[in-house]
């Protein structure tokens, strides 16, 4: 595998992103423009490009579009066969067959390359990288609509834990387990939960720490070994660690088959409270990180749709001419290119802001206010410009369109982020 030729980033050696620094994401001698009073650095460092190359090679080897289509189609059929008419299923065998995740792919990415612990400091067993590197990974995962729980485990659940008291032995142990890839986590909130929302009250904790309640539409719960659950207890909001086996995880056929959703129910489930000075703030930090990094996934998806469409239109002939040579087609592609370039700037700004802590709330809101529209437009243009083949299951474009549509409501809609952005910039309400 060509990925193994990258110095220090091969699957056998573990991910060593070139000496990434905790919270900084760059190695010695690679200065960044970010920081207090500085402009965000929108460019990719050599280390980030090496990381991108490694992830791209792994995905090309282990997750080609043809195999992806077959996997999600089988998963959809398994879910439909194992449940009632609404597609839901509680049968363990059907649940297993309904999982489109590729455990072998996640093992290589999460454990061998160390991507599961990208955001975790080295002293806690992670790689000590930053949101900039995680953003690059998500660009590539978005470009491949890869069926991995990176967003749920390595971003959302990990970010929530990092906002807890990491000096606590239990929190540190759980972070180390997630960072090593020994366990996979999920943050038990609806996929549509946005930063700035009220602390969820769907799950209650009793005095003994047992949880009761249901959380709907949780992303990556099917692949999780452990759940980080926001719950309201006798002392107020808190975060709790629950073994996934102690909860009822019920999948259903979701629009995006490459990132399945599930309802998670707790019926007196044993839980361990995670020490945190402010659980609501910890949850909000996790959702903010998820929203900001999701923009990079949408960027990768949009860029792939544009690149693939340009390639296809450069090969297909009609009326004795290359289809891509028609002026009207060129205009549509040029407009889309401008949108993708603008999205890249917004997504990189959000990732850099999360890495440096400089105006992160504003940068993330700006990125998410723009990203979903571009990703959906890119996918729709790709489907249309591919003609009839774009409408079939034989071509993976439908997976990209479904991921783009699902991301449109994930971690807050564009309208919700615009509404939250206005007071941050002292703009009057519309």
Q: Which percentage of the chain shows pLDDT scores above 90?
A: 75
Residues 6+ apart with CB under 8 A from 92: none
Q: Which percentage of the chain shows pLDDT scores above 70?
A: 84
26 vs 275 pLDDT, higher one = 275
- Predicted pLDDT at 41: 87
- Predicted pLDDT at 23: 38
pLDDT band at 78 (very low <50, low <70, confident <90, very high): low
pLDDT band at 70 (very low <50, low <70, confident <90, very high): confident
- Predicted pLDDT at 430: 62
- Give CA–CA dist 90/98, Å, rounded: 11
- Predicted pLDDT at 144: 94
Does 88 score more than 60 pLDDT?
no
User: 318-362 pLDDT, tens per residue?
Assistant: 888 999 999 999 999 999 999 999 999 999 999 999 999 999 999
Q: Which of 297, 249, 254 is nearest to 75 (CA)?
A: 254
User: 243-256 pLDDT, tens per residue?
Assistant: 999 999 999 888 99
- Predicted pLDDT at 33: 43
Does 189 score more than 80 pLDDT?
yes
Read off the pLDDT of each residue in 161-175 and give the average, rounded to a whole number.
97
Angle at 287 between CA 377 and CA 57, to 5 degrees: 60
Q: Which of 130, 138, 133 is nearest to 294 (CA)?
A: 138
Whether 302 and 374 have beta carbons less than 8 Å apart is answered as yes
pLDDT band at 69 (very low <50, low <70, confident <90, very high): confident
User: 373-419 pLDDT, tens per residue?
Assistant: 999 999 999 999 999 898 888 899 999 999 999 999 999 999 999 99
- Give CA–CA dist 392/304, Å, rounded: 18
Read off the pLDDT of each residue in 136-144 and give the average, rounded to a whole number.
97
pLDDT band at 314 (very low <50, low <70, confident <90, very high): very high
Read off the pLDDT of each residue in 159-185 and give the average, rounded to a whole number.
97
pLDDT band at 428 (very low <50, low <70, confident <90, very high): confident
Does 159 score more than 80 pLDDT?
yes
- Predicted pLDDT at 5: 35
Whether 275 and 164 have beta carbons less than 8 Å apart is answered as yes
Does 73 score more than 60 pLDDT?
yes
210 vs 427 pLDDT, higher one = 210
Read off the pLDDT of each residue in 68-95 and give the average, rounded to a whole number.
55
Angle at 3 between CA 176 and CA 340, to 5 degrees: 90
Does 8 score more than 60 pLDDT?
no
- Predicted pLDDT at 407: 97
Does 121 score more than 50 pLDDT?
yes
pTM for the whole structure: 0.87
Q: How many CA atoms does the CB half-sphere of 105 hold within 13 Å?
A: 25
Does 188 score more than 50 pLDDT?
yes
Own/partner contacts of 242-245, CB < 8 Å, gap of 24 or more, are 242/188, 242/211, 242/266, 242/269, 242/270, 242/271, 242/272, 243/270, 244/186
Read off the pLDDT of each residue in 285-312 and give the average, rounded to a whole number.
98
pLDDT band at 130 (very low <50, low <70, confident <90, very high): very high
373 vs 89 pLDDT, higher one = 373
- Predicted pLDDT at 419: 93
Computed over every residue of the chain, the mean pLDDT equals 87
Does 79 score more than 60 pLDDT?
no
């Amino acid at each position: 595998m060509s990925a193994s030729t990258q110095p220090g980033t091969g699957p056998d050696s573990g991910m060593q992103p070139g000496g990434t620094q905790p919270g900084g994401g760059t190695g010695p001698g690679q200065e960044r423009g970010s920081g207090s009073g500085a402009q965000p650095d929108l460019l990719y460092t050599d280390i980030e490009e090496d990381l991108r190359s490694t992830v791209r090679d792994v995905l090309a080897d282990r997750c080609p579009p043809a195999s992806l289509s077959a996997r999600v189609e089988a998963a959809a059929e398994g879910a439909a066969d194992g449940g009632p008419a609404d597609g839901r299923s509680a049968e363990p065998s059907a649940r297993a067959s309904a999982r489109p995740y590729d455990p072998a792919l996640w093992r290589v990415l999460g454990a061998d390359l160390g991507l599961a612990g990208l955001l975790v400091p080295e002293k806690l067993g992670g790689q000590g990288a930053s949101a900039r590197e995680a953003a690059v990974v998500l660009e590539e995962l978005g470009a491949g609509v890869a069926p991995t729980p990176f967003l749920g485990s390595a971003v959302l659940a990990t970010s929530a834990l990092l906002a807890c008291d990491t000096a606590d032995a239990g929190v540190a142990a759980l972070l180390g387990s997630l960072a090593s890839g020994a366990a996979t986590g999920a943050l038990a909130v609806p996929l549509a939960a946005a930063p700035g929302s009220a602390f969820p009250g769907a799950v209650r904790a009793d005095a003994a720490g047992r949880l009761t309640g249901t959380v709907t539409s949780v992303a990556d719960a099917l692949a999780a070994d452990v759940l980080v659950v926001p719950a309201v207890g006798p002392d107020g909001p808190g975060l709790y660690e629950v073994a996934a086996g102690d909860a009822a995880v019920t999948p259903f056929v979701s629009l995006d088959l490459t990132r399945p959703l599930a309802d998670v129910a707790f019926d007196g489930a044993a839980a361990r409270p995670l020490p945190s000075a402010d659980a609501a703030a910890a949850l909000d930090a996790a959702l903010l990180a998820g929203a900001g990094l999701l923009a990079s996934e949408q960027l990768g998806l949009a860029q792939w749709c544009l690149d693939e469409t340009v390639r296809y239109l450069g090969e297909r002939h009609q009326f004795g001419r290359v289809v891509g040579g028609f002026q009207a087609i060129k205009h549509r592609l040029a407009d889309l290119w401008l949108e993708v370039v603008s999205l890249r700037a917004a997504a990189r700004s959000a990732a850099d802001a999360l890495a440096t802590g400089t105006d992160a709330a504003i940068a993330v809101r700006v990125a998410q206010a723009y990203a979903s529209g571009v990703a959906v437009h890119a996918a729709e243009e790709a489907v249309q410009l591919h003609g009839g083949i774009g409408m079939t299951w034989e071509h993976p474009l439908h997976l990209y369109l479904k991921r783009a549509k699902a991301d449109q409501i994930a971690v807050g809609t564009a309208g919700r982020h615009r509404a939250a952005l206005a007071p941050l910039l002292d703009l009057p309400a519309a």
